[in-house]
Amino acid sequence: MSYNGYMAKRQFQLDGAQINALICAYNKMTDGATRTRFQAVRLYGTGYLVKDIIEITQCSRTSLMEWCQKYLAHGPGALVDHRAGGNSRKLRLGQIADLSERLRLYTPGDLFGSEAATSEGRFWTVEDLQRVVERWYGVSYQSRTSCVTLFARCGFSYQRPARVYKSRREADVAAFEEAIERKLVDLAQEAPDTVTLVEDEASLYLQATVKQVWAPRRQPPVVRVDPRRDKTSFYGTLDLATGNDIVTESPKMNGAATVEHLAKVLDTYPGRPILLLWDRATWHKGPLVREFLAAHPRLELMYFPVAAPDLNPQEHVWKTTRGAISHNHAQRRLPDLADKFAAYLNTHTFHSSFLDRYGYNAIRPMFT
């Protein structure tokens, strides 16, 4: 296998007998959730694109890959939903799992248009949840408390919306997610020895950032903030399989520092093919970096879409480390703070759902 390019051929393929068996099982089944599993596996096994299967069946990528794995291991019977909810529940457990997936696939605006509870219909409300549960399952929830509980059982919580850059283009995000899913499925089948990494940079300032903490009433805590703006920078590369972070400290983020870090990454995985995902920072594209990449073809790159830091798990590594080390800190010297920051990165693991989200962990056991 070459280190660059996609493997387009899908190895999960159903023959005529398997297709007919799934069609028969689908026609005989009355449970809607189980019928969806039969349909999704059949579509995947006959070559449909994942994005089309998601649109047709309203399932998630992760669920699709799990269903295919169960089917390969145990046949159509493994896709039957044997779960049952308690008598006190209005929705069965299978219906709640189905609702959880649908709430993530659709917005109230998609379903109700201008009649959604909020003006733009972008976010779910109790009122929208009541309407959609009655529409999809014929069940009426009158109590707001019951709806809040139902949200919680679907994995939703009441929280303040995060800010998103206006330069973000959702079409680019969707294209990236389709591309990375194809790539990871190809690697799982054709090159399971490939190391999958994500990279990002962060600046660390001596001036402490202040974060809320618990303290006795009427006794507000005090953090003495150094007025200087001294800073250093860190390159961080997260191994998505192990959760280990490769760290390089540098006074600047430029081509030379980038090459130094990439060399450290290659040394960490001698002889193994590497897929590295990173953003489009200018210091990632200069002549020094291009020359280095040309000399090391086992290092393959993919780029995150513009203004989509939420897709990069290394961002969560920075957030966790800042919370543990640099928020509310009392260090007087930047080198001491930087040493603690690097030590935390080097001694902790940072596990991510990235490989699960795009189907890699569900597919790989089929081919190893």
**Comparing 84-98, 158-172, 352-366, which segment has the lowest mean pLDDT?**
84-98
Say if residue 266's pLDDT is above 90: yes
Q: 203 phi and psi, to 5 degrees?
A: -100, 140
235-242 mean pLDDT: 98
pLDDT at 115: 86
Burial of 139: CB neighbours in 10 Å, binned 0-12, 13-18, 19+ = middle
What is the pLDDT of the chain when averaged over all its residues? 87
pLDDT at 287: 96
One-letter identity of residue 233: S
246-252 mean pLDDT: 97
Say if residue 88's pLDDT is above 80: no
With vertex at residue 258, the alpha carbon angle to CA 254 and CA 261, rounded to the nearest 5 degrees, is 145
For the chain, what are the domain ranges? Answer: 16-79, 93-153, 170-215+224-367
33-60 mean pLDDT: 88
Tokens of 229: 């703006």
Per-residue model confidence as pLDDT tens digits over 110-169: 998 888 887 678 888 888 999 999 989 988 888 888 888 899 899 888 776 666 566 778
From 310, 338, 308, 335, select the one nearest 325 (Cα to Cα): 338
CB hemisphere CA count around 302 (13 angstroms): 25
Say if residue 73's pLDDT is above 70: yes
From 125, 197, 128, select the one nearest 161 (Cα to Cα): 125
pTM for the model: 0.62
pLDDT at 278: 98
Decide which of 235 and 165 is more confident: 235
Rounded distance, CA 112 to CA 129, Å?
Answer: 11
42-48 mean pLDDT: 91
52-76 mean pLDDT: 86
pLDDT at 99: 93
For a pLDDT cut of 70, what percent of the chain falls above it?
92
CATH fold of the domain at 170-215+224-367? Nucleotidyltransferase; domain 5 (3.30.420)
